[in-house]
Amino acid sequence: MPNLRKIEAAVPAIREKKKVAAYARVSMQSERMLHSLSAQVSYYSGLIQKNPDWEYAGVYADDFISGTNTVKRDEFKRMLADCEAGKIDIILTKSISRFARNTVDLLETVRRLKDLGVEVRFEKERIRSMDGDGELMLTILASFAQEESRSISDNVKWGIRKRMQNGIPNGHFRIYGYRWEGDELVIVPEEAEIVKRIFQNFLDGKSRLETERELAAEGITTRDGCRWVDSNIKVVLTNVTYTGNLLLQKEFISDPISKQRKKNRGELPQYYVEDTHPAIIDKATFDFVQEEMARRRELGALANKSLNTSCFTGKIKCPYCGQSYMHNKRTDRGDMEFWNCGSKKKKKKGTGCPVGGTINHKNMVKVCTEVLGLDKFDEAIFLEKVDHIDVPERYTLEFHMADGCVVTKDCLNTGHRDCWTPERRAEVSMKRRKNGTNPIGASCFTGKIKCVSCGCNFRKATRNCKDGSKVSHWRCAEHNGCDSPSLREDLLEQMAAEVLGLDAFDAAAFREKIDRVEVLSSSELRFCFKDGRTVSRNWQPPERVGRPWTEEQRAKFKESIKGAYTPERRRQMSEHMKQLRKERGDKWRKEK
């Protein structure tokens, strides 16, 4: 009989559509460029939707954004996020320069997309990122695009500098006190009054900090409604524009790719244009303010009247941090004066001073008096003879004298010890007797539990249990030679509630009625009421209940023991036992 085999009809496979998106960008804000961006969006929307094998995934467009980096390109970053989410398979773009003008950014982005399985197609260059030689061509052409960006930047800079040579500023910059009317700077009267006031305060000898506080107290703010701060006031005092003249090219962009802006400190020529607009401050006053600022800068902290300065201000230096030591006071422990390195103000990790520690002010004055050979310290002689003091290591001062010699002296910090005067000791003792030794975070038992045998208070301690919980205990502060028991807080609360006749422990009632709890022995407590009554109770420490080992723990312990007894260890123990038998004879075992 012949064999029959049925051949099923082949079901045609349905091709999965590719999710295709497009990216467009223009970098200049103009009507022509806006039309160009609109044309790119329309073109790619139609192109994708006409292809039957493609599924439209959208068009991402950044307008008026440079392609030298990706920081401000929100649509570009949104497109990459959608690629990460699997919403895009192919990206279409007009050219490499539209996608990125930074070679590093371009290659990193293309490689990242390639790892996600997303292909980028550059129409003008006819490059596909998934092709074998695609990355090589991208590298070469991206370098051209980056250099083209540099060339455009250089051409723009050349045009700006040519205009500056003719006295034309680069755009309408913002400046407090003026506004632009067409191409002319016009004074804003109410703002000009604040500018004059800032200059007048400085001429009157006030510091910028004093001016800041004065303006804040009167509610005077900047044009944007922000508080006047030291940096804003400094900008006003140093801006030559207020004299009716312009100084052009005070700043410049060093790199067109990174867009890093730098202050022009002589790297490029500057152009001084006179009488371009009405002045708020006359030139003579402005020049005098600049000279005064230079003088104060030379004096440093001594020029700032708002600071509490002394003859040591700016004289004590850290040779490692390059910072001056700063004067500090503490009043919570008496009048403690000390100096520490200015780097302590820095919050960045790893910027701490390697010397550390502080310099006690009184001890430093004594050491200075000794170095200068005086019976009594004299500030004038110190300023005349001492150039500066270095702190090479903790509690060591290195005096660099004006005549060139160097004297090294020890200066111990005894501030904490010196502040414990008899008066302060009595004050602290009274406070502790009243409030306990730990008033911060204290409980109702703090300072109430007394050890009769040694006279110490009980202190709270916390122990971690194996199950992750914590148990609080009260123990005598005398650790050595005292046999008072450790009182578990939860059991102590139960006993106190029973003594007070309460169903549940009440901390407020305990504070109100109980004067103290005396620990008479390891098994007896006495509750002393404020009305004179006493109640004794026997204390039964809870039995410690262990947990049996699991089989896993036993096996782990056995393995660790086996691993510890190496042949070398066995040999050492054997030699040790032989030596014991030799020394002790027949009675080598310890007697029980």
CATH code of 269's domain: 3.90.1750.20
Query: Would 171 be classed as within a structural domain?
Result: no
Which residues lie below 8 Å from residue 110, measured CB to CB, with a gap of 6+? 120, 129, 135, 138
Tell me which of 538, 562, 577 is where a domain ends: 538
> Rounded to whole angstroms, how far apart are CA atoms 178 and 186?
5
Q: Residue 361: what pLDDT?
A: 86
State residue 338 phi and psi, 5-degree precision. Answer: -155, 165
- Residues paired with 128 in a beta bridge: 121
Does 185 lie in the same domain as 104?
no
Q: What is the largest CA-CA distance in the chain?
A: 134
> Rounded to whole angstroms, how far apart are CA atoms 471 and 412?
42
Query: Would 295 be classed as within a structural domain?
Result: yes
Query: Would 592 be classed as within a structural domain?
Result: no
Domain count, the chain: 5
Does 328 lie in the same domain as 286?
no
Q: Residue 546: what pLDDT?
A: 62
Q: Annotate 220-234 with b (16+ C-beta within 10 A) or e (fewer).
A: eeeeeeeebeeebbe
The pLDDT profile of the chain, 592 residues, written as one tens digit per residue, is 566 776 665 555 555 788 999 998 876 554 455 557 788 888 888 888 888 888 888 889 887 666 556 667 888 889 999 999 989 999 998 887 777 767 677 778 888 888 888 888 888 878 888 876 766 676 676 666 666 666 666 666 666 666 666 666 766 778 898 888 888 888 888 989 999 999 998 888 888 888 889 899 999 888 888 899 988 898 889 888 888 888 777 666 666 555 667 777 767 777 777 888 888 888 888 888 888 888 877 766 555 555 567 788 878 888 888 888 888 887 776 677 888 888 877 655 556 788 888 888 888 889 899 888 888 888 888 888 888 889 988 888 999 998 889 989 888 887 777 777 778 777 777 766 665 555 556 778 887 888 888 778 888 888 777 666 778 888 887 766 677 888 888 888 989 999 999 989 998 899 889 988 998 888 889 999 999 899 998 888 777 666 677 888 888 888 888 777 788 888 888 888 888 777 777 666 655 4
Query: Would 572 be classed as within a structural domain?
Result: yes
Cβ 37 vs Cβ 26: under 8 Å: yes
Does 414 lie in the same domain as 295?
no
Does 355 lie in the same domain as 236?
no
Count of residues for the chain? Answer: 592
Query: Would 349 be classed as within a structural domain?
Result: yes
Residue-wise pLDDT for 412-454, tens only, equals 887 777 777 778 777 777 766 665 555 556 778 887 888 888 7
Cβ 252 vs Cβ 266: under 8 Å: no
Does 276 lie in the same domain as 211?
yes
Q: How far is CA 568 from CA 87, 558, 561, 581, in A?
A: 65, 19, 14, 20
64 is written with which tokens? 């008026």
Cβ-based neighbour number of residue 537 at 10 Å = 15
Does 117 lie in the same domain as 28?
yes
Does 323 lie in the same domain as 250?
no
Does 534 lie in the same domain as 570?
no
Q: Which helix (H) or strand (E) holds 283?
A: helix 283-299
Closest CA to 540 of 476, 486, 474, 463: 486
What's the CATH number where 30 sits? Answer: 3.40.50.1390
Does 146 lie in the same domain as 29?
yes
**E strand intervals along 342-468:** 359-360, 386-390, 396-401, 406-410, 449-451, 458-464
Does 476 lie in the same domain as 504?
yes
Query: Would 113 be classed as within a structural domain?
Result: yes
Does 284 lie in the same domain as 191?
yes
Query: Would 308 be classed as within a structural domain?
Result: no
Helices (H), 224-313: 230-238, 283-299
Q: Residue 592: what pLDDT?
A: 46
> Rounded to whole angstroms, how far apart are CA atoms 28 and 34?
9
Query: Would 280 be classed as within a structural domain?
Result: yes
Does 341 lie in the same domain as 281?
no
Domain that holds residue 454: 436-538
